[in-house]
Every structure is written in structure tokens, then in C-alpha cells.
Amino acid sequence: MSTKIIVTPINLISNKKNLTFNGKKARVDYLLELENFSKESKWDDSRYNNAVIGNMFGFVHQIEDKIEMFEITNILPANTRPDYWDLPKHRHRNVLILSPKIEEIKWSEFKTQNNLSLNYKLLGTTRLKYTGKKIEKKI
């Protein structure tokens, strides 16, 4: 299986010397969205708006060594972004509608499965090739 995955870094455990304003904002937005993970939730696309319905999506917790996996079920235009998504550099990004959480695995395992260096650091929302095992939706 080969598809694409949009991944975004979320650091709930603070590494204060590397926590930028965008990192703090992402953490707050993630915590607001957390209650929706058992149903439909949302996040923004990469800066290139290159997500496709059916692609996977992952919230990456690098310090905690985990990735939460979702499927992208719909994509809405940037003008539908919630008001609290107010980072100027992100205003052009589409809104990704996500399935309920499908799976959570170790970030280090994900990197190995997808031929990424174990030293790879995710610095922003990006689209990667996903060649890991097929993820079955949990009902």
C-alpha cells in the first residue's frame, strides 16, 4: 500500500527552548479539538493545500513518541476556518475534516515503516509518502 499522509507536530510536553508561538498555538488548538477525536474533528492543511480526501492524517507527538492516525474525509475551503484559527501565515489553508481516530502508534515505528531517518524532526505541517501497514477503520 502506498498513499500520502499529512502530518503536523503537536508537543503537549513542552521543550521550552524550542517552543515557538506557532507551537503554543497548535497545542491550544489541538486541546480544543481533542474532545472531538471519537467523532469528526478538523485541522488545517499543509501550506501547499495538497491533501486529498482518503489520505491519512497524523498528529505527531515527537517528545512522547506517538502519532495519532485519522483519515481525511472532506476538505473545506480556507474561508470556512474557525475564527480562533488566527495565525496569519495559515489563513489560506484549507480545512481538513477528519474521521474518528483510527489508530495510535509510536512515531519511531512510523518513521521506520516509512523509511524516514530515526533522527527526522517534523518542523511543521507537511505531506509525506505513507507506506506503512494498511490501517483498518475501527468501528
pLDDT digits (tens, 9 = 90+) for 108-117: 999 999 999 9
- The confidence band for 80, taking pLDDT boundaries of 50, 70 and 90, is very high
Would the CA dihedral through 76, 81, 85, 87 be positive or negative? positive
- The confidence band for 135, taking pLDDT boundaries of 50, 70 and 90, is low
Task: Provide the CATH number for the domain formed by 3-130 in this structure.
Answer: 3.10.590
Q: What is the DSSP letter of 131?
A: -
Model pTM score: 0.84
Q: List phi, psi (to 5°) of 127.
A: -110, 130
- Annotated domain spans of the chain: 3-130
